[in-house]
Amino acid sequence: MTTLNKVIICGRLTRDTETKDISGTQLCKFGLAFDSGFGEKKAVVFIDVDSWGKTAEFIAGNFSKGKEILIEGRLEFQQWEKDGEKRSKHTITAERVSFVGAKDQQGSDDF
């Protein structure tokens, strides 16, 4: 069976980036909001995004709450248990990102 897990989404950061160093590798986490549907069925979707290494460093240095970003990556499914209750959520792992918007808001090309 052939599988493909590729996500391309354009949206705005819902909060400033959070960075951590994990075993010498940079981890950057942030929230993303984007529109889904149209007309009366239009809704805003919120999803958490993780990035690693050089991509994480680039995002942390160039993006903050409210900035538009184009993300290319893969969809992940996380499961955990808290207080005896099973929980889960989908996230995106960003592998490549680009600036979106007016040229004067951009710092450099994509990474």
> Residue 81 falls within a domain, yes or no?
yes
Query: Is 69 exposed, middle or buried, given 0-12, 13-18 or 19+ CB atoms closer than 10 A?
Result: buried
Indicate the SS3 state at residue 42: coil
CA 30 to chain CA centroid, Å, is: 6
Query: Is 23 exposed, middle or buried, given 0-12, 13-18 or 19+ CB atoms closer than 10 A?
Result: exposed
> Residue 110 falls within a domain, yes or no?
no
Q: What is the CATH number of the domain that holds 71?
A: 2.40.50.140
> Residue 46 falls within a domain, yes or no?
yes
Which residue range(s) make up the domain with 11? 7-101
How many domains is the chain partitioned into structurally?
Answer: 1
The string of pLDDT tens digits covering residues 21-68 is 999 999 999 999 999 999 999 999 999 999 999 999 999 999 999 999
> Residue 50 falls within a domain, yes or no?
yes
> Residue 107 falls within a domain, yes or no?
no
pLDDT score recorded for residue 84: 92
Q: Which residues sit opposite 55 in a β-bridge?
A: none
Q: Are the beta carbons of 47 and 30 closer than 8 angstroms? A: no
